[in-house]
Amino acid sequence: MAARRPFPEGSGIFETLRTENNQVAEVGRHMRRALGAAEALNIPMPDEEVLRSEIYAAMQLSSHALGRLRICISDSGFVVTHDQYEDLAGDARLTFYSTSSAAHGEQYKTYPYDDHYLILDEARDYGFDDAIIFNKANEVTETSLSNIAFLIADQWVTPPISAGILPGTMRAIAIERHDVAVRPIHISEIADVQAAILLSSLKIAQPVSHIGDHRLSALEHSRELATKMRASIQYFSVV
């Protein structure tokens, strides 16, 4: 598991991107999301060419076959870092977070990120990898670090932005390229989940083996979707 890199002091927006062999996964999608967040939160976005130059310099300074690129942008400027990343081995076990999310509508990827890490650490203290978060309407939102999709009645589904979730890059790819449908998912439907998968920019797609103590019955379907997701990711040079 990759160590957590501290965020800069203060607050701002950030993007975390996967790199392979000095190319960046879906960089255009990440930059469009960052631009939207910067406009919504009134944070000045750096010039694109300057930002690309700094990304290239960070990757040259710290080169990795598989890496975690992080871009943090605030009122005072931006910081780019590139660390080694290791793919997660095995399937995820999920629990439920005990406090409902107050988030409503589209969320933005902002730091400090402490509230997300608190949820993650609590889940790990009980032997799980992450926790499913529900909103005030008892609908699924996401987990502390990932979007989530469920196989229910033989259809892959993921919660809508209106549930109060981050519009993840891999979530968008799952919808656009892999026929994952978007609809509200009520807590009462958890018992009907056949398979589940976590979606995030670093892990891309991680199958879920258990929700609570319940082992999901169609794990092979989540592994199949994860394989298809990884094969469909596009990598780009930043120069």
In whole angstroms, give the CA distance from residue 47 to residue 31: 11
137 and 172 fall within a common domain: yes
Domain ends where: 34, 64, 84? Answer: 84
4 located within any domain: no
Asked whether the beta carbons of 157 and 147 are under 8 A apart, the reply is: no
In whole angstroms, give the CA distance from residue 206 to residue 196: 9
34 and 147 fall within a common domain: no
**CATH code of the domain in which 16 resides:** 3.30.470.10
pTM over 0.85: yes
Q: Where are the beta strands (DSSP E) in 31-166?
A: 66-74, 77-84, 92-96, 110-111, 130-134, 140-143, 147-152, 155-158
Mean pLDDT by 10 residues, the chain (239 residues): 81 98 96 97 96 96 97 97 94 97 92 96 97 97 98 98 97 98 98 98 98 97 98 95
**CATH code of the domain in which 219 resides:** 3.20.10.10
- The amino acid at residue 61 is L
Task: State the pLDDT at residue 4.
Answer: 82
In whole angstroms, give the CA distance from residue 211 to residue 214: 5
126 and 29 fall within a common domain: no
Angle between helix axes 169-178 and 219-232 (nearest 10 degrees) is: 100
Q: Closest Cα partner for 133 from 164, 101, 166, 159?
A: 101
224 and 155 fall within a common domain: yes
Q: Closest Cα partner for 147 from 198, 94, 87?
A: 198
Please name the residues in contact with 142: beta carbons below 8 A apart, sequence gap of 6 or more. Answer: 132, 133, 148, 159, 165, 166, 168
239 located within any domain: no
In whole angstroms, give the CA distance from residue 102 to residue 161: 14
Domain limits for position 77 = 12-84
Counting the structural domains of the chain, the total is: 2
Output the six-digit token pair for 194.
């056949």
In tens, the pLDDT along 35-51 reads 999 999 999 999 999 99
Asked whether the beta carbons of 131 and 119 are under 8 A apart, the reply is: yes
> Cα Rg for the chain, rounded, in angstroms?
17
- SS3 at position 224: helix
In whole angstroms, give the CA distance from residue 213 to residue 19: 34
159 and 48 fall within a common domain: no
63 and 98 fall within a common domain: no
